[in-house]
Structure 1
Amino acid sequence: MHARLCILAACLLLVLSSSHADSPWPQFRGPGGDGIVTDQHTPLTFGEKENLAWKTELPGKAWSSPVIADGVVWATTAIEVFPSEEERLELLRAAGIEEKKFKQLAVAKAIRLKLFALDLESGRQLAEIDLTEIETPDPIHSLNSYASPTPVIDGPNIYCHFGTYGTFCVNRDSRQIEWQRKLPLDHSVGPGSSPFIDGQRLILIQDGIERQYVTALDKLTGETLWETDRPEMDAPTGDQKKAYCTPIKITDRLGREQLICMGSQWMVAYEPATGNEIWKLRHGKGFSVVPRPVYADGVVYFSTGFGKPQLWAVKVDGSGDVTNTHVAWTVMKGIPAKPSPILHDGLIYVMEDNGIASCFEAESGDEVWKKRIGGKYSASPLLVGDRIYLGSHEGTVTVISAGRDSEVLAENQLDGQIMASPAVVDNSLIVRTAEAIYRFK
């Protein structure tokens, strides 16, 4: 009996020390990576003077979402050294950019990448951690930032990824950098893919314009464990081969663990331990893919990216090229290029970039409803209980009811552009704008 109790105690200790045990919001889109919270209550109405627990301004520009653990809110940022207009044009020319693209691109003379820690209760700044400084970084899209990937918390560490500008493992207690790596990549318009933790592996999707691959690093040392190139693409330029998606992990009905890694033209599932390809599917010519896939009941749902975004539902129990055998359905219109979908109770919700929300049957892809919300959107929606929160570029957070008879419940206005996806902890809403992080209770 004593031995059995010891075994039970050891198992309990293992559970309590698992990656996300003390991390109520450890990664992009929350604990499940799907933007769903079912056991908390967040305010319906809020603003600069309503239900505001605190507001803390942060320097720099970053579209990364906050992550939260052990009473601390963590957020990355990029402090830019801005050029004059004449210097900007010179930097763009030096980077080999075509003049017709000058208007849509931004560039800095230098950037300082930082990690901030804020007290969850008060919003007080606890730490400002310098990660690196980059001279003459590549140009980025004017709608992007140099710190768009969301960090991930795992055990004592937080992993901050900035694409080609570096990947950093930081100890949350000592606030020291444990290791750092640089995996050079030409993103074309800046970094976007967020890191993902799977056991001892840190998974990074590295889909640039000159090379596209997925890699796993040892999360304790940063050493490369495996590296797998993407399937061949037939796009005329590298611009149509790049992508910015974040992986998910599933276990199919056959018991196979799969890393689902969406890319341009192809959706691919890999073996987590080896990086070997399990199955792949050609979804067309979509590129610069941003939305994170969602999964339920043997089917993965994903948007196909820029061009003409489509929503696909694909069964995950195949092997090899499943393009002609495992597609459950597709929706060809009204699909976002940037915000990720929400899948809940047999319905899939999407927020189109130009302000139109839609709901579809997960089983068939049939439209349930469509409604114009207004505004422009990049942040992914959040479902809390039976409410969906939608944050726009204009700083408006619209709350609609979930379900088959959805209606607008509230519109809340904040001072600042919303590009980062929100977080939820302790029955409160954590929202990042271009200038500040808010906590609403």
Structure 2
Amino acid sequence: MGGVWAEICSRAVDLRHHPWQRRELTMRRHRFDSPGIGSLVTFGCFILSGCGSNPAPVAVDSSESVASDSGAATPSNATTTTSETQLAVPNTDSATVPVYTPTGALTSWHRWRGPTASGVAPQGNPPLNWDESTNIQWKVKLPGYGSGTPIVWRDNIYLLTAVDTGKMPEGSPPAADEKSASGGGRGRRGFRMSTPTPKTEFEFRLLCLDRQTGETVWSQVARKQVPFSGHHPSHGFASSSAVTDGKLLYASFGSYGIYCYNLAGELQWELDLGDMQTRAGFGEGASPALHEESLVVTWDHEGESFIVCLNALSGEEIWRQPRDERTTWATPLIVEHEGTAQVITNAQNRTRSYNLADGALLWECGGQAGNPIATPVVKDGTVYCMTGFRGYAVYALPLSARGDISDTDKIVWKYTDNGPYVASPVLYDDLLYFTKERRGVLSCVRADTGEFQFENQRLPGFEGLYASLSAAAGKIYIVSRNGTTVVLKHGSEFEVLATNQLAEGIDASPVIVGNQLLLRGAEHLYAISEQ
């Protein structure tokens, strides 16, 4: 990878599609000879693991009882019918994002990157200021641990967590030796990267909370088992987001199963894709992507990687394609373009587009950096992908491309001097905002040209960053791992409007629904609104 990266860094960038047609822009670290670069938005968190033969989903009769802490209480919106027609979702006043969005989703946050799949809440208007005693609508302690971003459908919040029961299963054999656990759990020099392999049972749970009160509506145990490996010290076993179309709810714990529930918390089907052998034993993180009746899961790991499309109603496999990739944690993006639904995947070796109908590879582009986590975003026929680990790569790629477009003039623009490692950027109107590596350093570019509006601006009070960026009502919300949230004015100038502090660290991304902001901390879920 190093040789490829060095070659990319040394190349001049062809901006033939830009106003400065045929000019070359050479990117150097901390120096820009011309106003280059651009758009990009990453799409988040949720990889699923496994290899081997195609497992059959297990359908569940809705009359059967499901493990629950509080009973399968039916939420008020459980019987709501939802159109599954494709909608062009307004990202701004005039632009459209051609992502599948069920009726009613614009007033919710029904997937990992929100209603527009860009981190923007078109109808949101959350508070500007808060702290532990100001504008806190409610604060509830969550069971277990997880850093997955919640989703919202109307009046209910859904999130994943993993609870250590502290108990050994009855009659179980001794836990697997740590050194033989899948993923190894150690870095290249032998030092520990992941946590030790647990010896006790964990409950992998899906929670439903009332959005107005924070009270638990239902809590379902999807699986109970002793995990086969440890996890990254920062995130635990529940790092992904659920997704819903307003009728059914989909959750993935990666190696510990994919699950479909109705909104009353009744299990519809489940599927086991195997054990994912993640790099350094870090565990899973990518979320599934939903498009009408298709559910797409990426399974990039140290074993046989693949991407699979499932029938969202039954869990049956529609198609599967092998992938020449190692462990990645980026959630796929599904977008309509010229009558074809494309599945865009950001990965270490290549960014790829698959035809959702049959899994055929439509186009691909090499030149990424390591460990992609950010999710792609799209606007006006261009998709933006980026990585920021052991190098940088920000690419603007045309959805109309076909075949291998690596190092060709088909690339709209590219930039190799900056990029986020973990956080997905936000694409708001014509502006793309993204951070540098895991630091509180922000840049903003025009999505169409890659022209900088501002670059490498430091966010006050930041101590590392995992959460992706979110936006609403002319404001950008960026959260640090130390619980600091900086609110910026949306626009071409860097302007901090407010700096807010909570009492615990935050790795999950901000969720905006109406006048409410949801922040999942290390122990609590906060609902923030004007009080």
Task: Give the TM-score, by structure 1 length.
Answer: 0.89
The corresponding residue for 2:379 is: 296
CA deviation profile, 1:378-414 (whole Å, cap 9, x unmatched):
1101111211101111011111111111211111111
Is 1:20–2:102 an aligned residue pair?
yes
Is 1:319–2:402 an aligned residue pair?
yes
Q: Is 1:248–1:293's contact at 8 Å kept on the other side of the alignment?
A: yes
Q: Is 1:196–1:246's contact at 8 Å kept on the other side of the alignment?
A: yes
Is 1:439–2:527 an aligned residue pair?
yes
The corresponding residue for 2:333 is: 248
Gap change, CA 1:76 and 1:257, over 3 Å in 2: same
Gap change, CA 1:180 and 1:14, over 3 Å in 2: closer
Q: Give the deviation of 1:250 after TM superposition.
A: 2.0
Q: Is 2:185–2:192's contact at 8 Å kept on the other side of the alignment?
A: no
RMSD: 2.1
Distance across 1 between alignment mates of 2:283 and 2:156: 28
Q: Is 2:84–2:245's contact at 8 Å kept on the other side of the alignment?
A: no
Distance across 1 between alignment mates of 2:243 and 2:178: 32
* Alignment counterpart, residue 464 of structure 2, candidates 373, 376, 380: 376
The corresponding residue for 2:192 is: 103
Q: Which amino acid aligns with 2:283?
A: G
In the TM superposition, 1:164-243 aligns within 5 A as 164-173=255-264, 175-184=265-274, 185-188=276-279, 189-230=282-323, 232=324, 241-243=326-328
Q: Is 1:25–1:31's contact at 8 Å kept on the other side of the alignment?
A: yes
CA deviation profile, 1:27-68 (whole Å, cap 9, x unmatched):
001112110123221100012111111011102111111111
The corresponding residue for 2:61 is: none
Of residues 371-380 and 107-116 in structure 1, the stretch that sits farther from structure 2 once superposed is: 107-116
Is 1:260–2:344 an aligned residue pair?
yes
The corresponding residue for 1:92 is: 178
Is 1:52–2:136 an aligned residue pair?
yes
* Alignment counterpart, residue 272 of structure 1, candidates 356, 379, 383: 356
Is 1:338–2:431 an aligned residue pair?
no
Gaps of 5+ in 1: 1-12, 84-88, 234-240
Gaps of 5+ in 2: 1-80, 87-100, 168-174
CA deviation profile, 1:205-257 (whole Å, cap 9, x unmatched):
11111122111111111111110112x46xxxxxxx211111112233x4332
Q: Is 1:395–1:413's contact at 8 Å kept on the other side of the alignment?
A: yes
Distance across 2 between alignment mates of 1:212 and 1:148: 20
The corresponding residue for 1:366 is: 451
Of residues 259-268 and 107-116 in structure 1, the stretch that sits farther from structure 2 once superposed is: 107-116
The corresponding residue for 1:61 is: 145
Distance across 1 between alignment mates of 2:420 and 2:394: 9
The corresponding residue for 2:156 is: 72
Q: Give the deviation of 1:306 after TM superposition.
A: 2.5
Q: Which amino acid aligns with 2:316?
A: E
Distance across 1 between alignment mates of 2:357 and 2:115: 22
Q: Is 1:271–1:278's contact at 8 Å kept on the other side of the alignment?
A: yes
Q: Secondary structure at the match of 1:36?
A: coil
Q: Which amino acid aligns with 2:484?
A: T
Q: Is 1:291–1:305's contact at 8 Å kept on the other side of the alignment?
A: no
Distance across 2 between alignment mates of 1:378 and 1:317: 32
Distance across 2 between alignment mates of 1:70 and 1:40: 13
Q: Is 1:92–1:102's contact at 8 Å kept on the other side of the alignment?
A: no
Q: Which amino acid aligns with 1:298?
A: G
Is 1:42–2:126 an aligned residue pair?
yes
Task: Give the TM-score, by structure 2 length.
Answer: 0.74
The corresponding residue for 1:9 is: none
The corresponding residue for 1:157 is: 248
Distance across 2 between alignment mates of 1:105 and 1:97: 5
Q: Give the deviation of 1:305 after TM superposition.
A: 4.7
Gap change, CA 1:101 and 1:166, over 3 Å in 2: farther
Distance across 2 between alignment mates of 1:136 and 1:147: 12
Distance across 2 between alignment mates of 1:75 and 1:16: 23
The corresponding residue for 2:19 is: none
Q: Secondary structure at the match of 1:355?
A: strand
Q: Give the deviation of 1:325 after TM superposition.
A: 3.5
Q: Is 2:344–2:351's contact at 8 Å kept on the other side of the alignment?
A: yes
Of residues 13-22 and 129-138 in structure 1, the stretch that sits farther from structure 2 once superposed is: 13-22
Q: Is 1:283–1:304's contact at 8 Å kept on the other side of the alignment?
A: no
Q: Which amino acid aligns with 1:164?
A: S
CA deviation profile, 1:178-199 (whole Å, cap 9, x unmatched):
1111112212311011011111
Distance across 1 between alignment mates of 2:85 and 2:350: 36
Q: Give the deviation of 1:159 after TM superposition.
A: 0.7
CA deviation profile, 1:303-347 (whole Å, cap 9, x unmatched):
135221321111121111111232122221231111111122322
Q: Is 1:75–1:116's contact at 8 Å kept on the other side of the alignment?
A: yes
Gap change, CA 1:328 and 1:43, over 3 Å in 2: same
In the TM superposition, 1:125-136 aligns within 5 A as 125-136=216-227
Q: Secondary structure at the match of 2:412?
A: strand
Q: Secondary structure at the match of 1:139?
A: coil
Distance across 1 between alignment mates of 2:211 and 2:267: 22
Q: Is 2:374–2:424's contact at 8 Å kept on the other side of the alignment?
A: yes
Distance across 1 between alignment mates of 2:402 and 2:412: 16
Is 1:115–2:199 an aligned residue pair?
no
